[in-house]
Amino acid sequence: MDLQLSVELGRGLAFTGAALAFALGGCGSAKGIGIASQEAAGVLSEKPGLFGRLLVMVALPGTQGFYGFITAFMMAQQTGLIGGTVNVTPGTGLALALIGFGAGLALYVSAVNQGQASAAGIALIGRREDAAGRALLFPALVETYAVVALLAAILFILWLTNSAETSNVLEYIRAAQ
């Protein structure tokens, strides 16, 4: 395969992975916050004094969007897409695309479900203000799996991009040409 084409393909796939990670994470967060906001707005229409407590619950599903951004940034940085020489083989690029998709999907699903769990917590606070602490706990548990997805994505990106084979393959192709 032509070196230029190989690097282009690798870069394109790496970009795809980064795009999937932040797009799915961001969409999930937007949807999750939307779900929780509707419930919170309903509670606030009757009890405006609960704004402070409900804001935390509404903001909870927003973290997945940031995790998606971190994943995308890591991919870009480790593969030289930001300010460096791009050294991604097509195989590594495909792996990064799949990591981006996997992490993005986990972030999307967890954000939407966290939005629903937050909505349930908000409903509980609306009914019993003294339950605010416990109501926060359940949506926070959903966060665990978003954090796991982020950690897994970071580790896989580091393992993939730091391995010697990636640069060796490119060196080999360069030498061959």
Q: What is the Cα–Cα distance from 113 to 106, expressed in whole angstroms?
A: 11
- Using the rule CB under 8 A, is 4 a contact of another protein? no
Structure tokens, 54:
């409900």
Contact 111, 147 (CB under 8 A): no
* CA 155, 156, 160, 161 torsion-angle sign: negative
Binding window for another protein (CB under 8 A); candidates: 10-18, 75-83, 112-120, 144-152? 112-120
Residues that contact another protein, how many (by CB under 8 A): 23
- Using the rule CB under 8 A, is 134 a contact of another protein? no
CB of 44 to another protein, least distance (A): 8
> In 46-163, where do the E strands start and end?
none
CB of 50 to another protein, least distance (A): 8
Interface positions, 9-48, toward another protein (CB under 8 A): 34-35, 37-47
Q: What is the Cα–Cα distance from 17 to 163, expressed in whole angstroms?
A: 18
* CA contacts within 13 A on the Cβ side of 96: 35
CB of 124 to another protein, least distance (A): 7
- Of the two residues 77 and 116, which places its CB atom closer to another protein in the complex? 116
Within 10 Å of residue 159's Cβ, how many Cβ atoms?
10
CB of 51 to another protein, least distance (A): 13
Binding site for another protein (CB under 8 A): 34-35, 37-47, 116, 119-120, 122-128
